[in-house]
Amino acid sequence: MTKSETIKVGVRIPGETADYQILCGSGLLENTGDIVRMALGEDVRRVAVISNRKVFGLYGEAVERSLKRAGISAGSFMIGDGERFKTLRTAEKILGFFNTAGIKRGDAVIALGGGVVGDAAGFAASLHLRGVRLVQIPTTLLAMIDSSVGGKTGVNSSFGKNLIGTFHQPAAVIADVSVLATLDRRGMSAGLFEAVKHGAISSEKLLRTTEKMIDARNRDPRLNGAETQAVFAKGIAEHVRFKASIVKGDAREAVTATGNRSRKILNFGHTLAHALELATEYRYLKHGEAVGHGVLFAAELSKRLELLPANSIKSLNDVVHRVGSLPPVDKISFEAVFSAISNDKKSRGGSIDWVLLEGIGRPVIVSDAKFPKGILRTALRDHLMSTL
Ligand code: NAD
Ligand code: GLY
């Protein structure tokens, strides 16, 4: 298989001591050791590789072999597979492993997996010895375009999703599109729904790039062809460039920032997504699927509030449906979802800043204190009952 050209996206976050690079291409895993050395310097001695059995079974050996070749010793630790394992308990187990493996301040952590591994391992890395360096090796599309970039780490709890967490920027991100070959269709669709979210808030251009990725996946579901891999490497680079451009202006998601370049805009679709996930105990929907529902819902709410014209909502809905069908939500209790949104509201001081749209690439933050009475309830009832 011909390898696609490696694209490097540099990220500079004001106030952070080091810049980092995101590498997008195919066949990068076999160069993990050299990339880690380049990013962390010659003194790196030992790394802790955090993964799960499924991903490590597929790619762990290639990563460890490459690290060994570069003279870096590695110890690995597996966490449970799935959203329900993104917990404080898991983070505590990872921290225990760092201690027994003797991970020192100059050493590093590698997160090899999807967003669950990346968020949990990143959270533990930010706590161990008050912070050790982190290299993200995202292995799902969602993790490549979103969760591995920008430094948000965290775990879920009974209080809600991702409410416990830290900001801890990675030292490098290695996005090797070849690993997407083993992702199942549902997993790939989950990433594509999150990609549509980026397109919607960024620009027509990124939405069109996302459509190219969707079409390439539909033609070549295993992403086997060099051409498909190149479409993905370029597409992922464009997505992370957009995400980095937002993060660098508002790395810690300032509470007071409400402009259309605030980091809050990256949460487009997430208010409903998180409520759906909490209401179904993180077991029914993949995060990206919940975001797919959230994108459709936020667009519909924007239309009902007369912010978004009908043609824009149609074009967005078409792209979501091109990805594939979303799991139905008609069996999910309205009260459970509404109360998850209301609890979120309480924890945010009585109102929620919804990310809505005035057009493709024109996000706007609107407090629900300004919504006409009852609009949220009605729109939510309609969404849960709609056959998608
Ligand atoms: P995931 O990590 O659960 O991975 C999905 C499934 O794919 C898992 O079963 C995993 O084992 C498997 N898998 C991973 N890579 C594979 C591969 N190459 N081949 C075969 N199987 C593979 O889910 P996800 O969608 O990657 O991530 C979702 C998580 O990301 C959520 O917890 C969400 O909150 C978080 N997230 C975080 C941020 C952030 O900024 N930190 C942003 C977006 C999402
Ligand atoms: N995924 C939202 C953020 O990184 O801010």
Does the CB atom of residue 150 touch ligand 2 within 6 A? yes
**pLDDT by 10s per residue, the chain, length 388:** 456 789 999 999 999 988 999 999 999 999 999 999 999 999 899 999 999 999 999 999 999 999 999 999 999 999 999 999 999 999 999 999 999 999 999 999 999 999 999 999 999 999 999 999 999 999 999 999 999 999 999 999 988 889 999 999 999 999 999 999 999 999 999 999 999 999 999 999 999 999 999 999 999 999 999 999 999 999 999 999 999 999 999 999 998 998 999 999 999 999 999 999 999 999 999 999 999 999 999 999 999 999 999 999 999 999 999 999 999 999 999 999 999 998 877 677 788 999 999 999 999 999 999 999 999 999 999 999 986 5
The residue to which tokens 């409903």 are assigned: 272
Ligand whose nearest atom lies closest to the CA of 273: 1
Q: Which residues line ligand 1 (CB under 6 A)?
A: 52, 54-55, 58, 81-83, 86, 113-117, 119, 139-140, 142-143, 146-147, 150, 152, 162, 179, 182-183, 187, 190, 286-288
Nearest CA to ligand 2 atom 5: 266
Question: What's the one-letter identity of residue 125?
Answer: A
Catalytic residue among 234, 263, 293, 383: 263
| Contact indicator for 282, 84 with CB cutoff of 8 Å | yes
- For ligand 2, is residue 152 a contact (CB within 6 Å)? yes
Could you confirm whether 303 is annotated as catalytic?
no
Residue nearest atom 3 in ligand 1 by C-alpha distance: 82
| CA nearest to 205, candidates 5, 33, 318, 361 | 361
Which residues, other chains included, contact 374 with Cβ-Cβ below 8 Å and sequence gap of 6+?
none
CA-proximal residue: ligand 1, atom 22 (nearest): 183
Residue 190 C-alpha to ligand 1 middle, in angstroms? 9
- Given a contact cutoff of 8 angstroms between Cβ atoms, the answer to whether 98 and 108 are in contact is no
Taking CA atoms, 32 is separated from 2, 42, 63, 136, 357, in Å, by: 19, 14, 6, 11, 40
Cβ of 265 below 6 Å from ligand 2: no
Instruction: Give yes or no: 130 in active site.
Output: yes
Strand order in the sheet with 73-79: 7-11, 20-25, 172-176, 133-138, 108-113, 46-52, 73-79
- SS3 (DSSP) at 325: coil
Q: How far is CA 184 from CA 147, 188, 217, 271, 283, in A?
A: 19, 6, 12, 26, 17
Q: How far apart are CA 367 and CA 20, in angstroms?
A: 34
154 neighbors 119 (Cβ within 8 angstroms): yes
The verdict on the CB of residue 197 being under 6 Å from ligand 2 is no
User: To test ligand 2's pocket by mutation, which of 153, 262, 266, 291 has the most ligand atoms within 8 angstroms of CB?
Assistant: 266
Please tell me the residue having the least CA distance from ligand 1 atom 36. Answer: 147
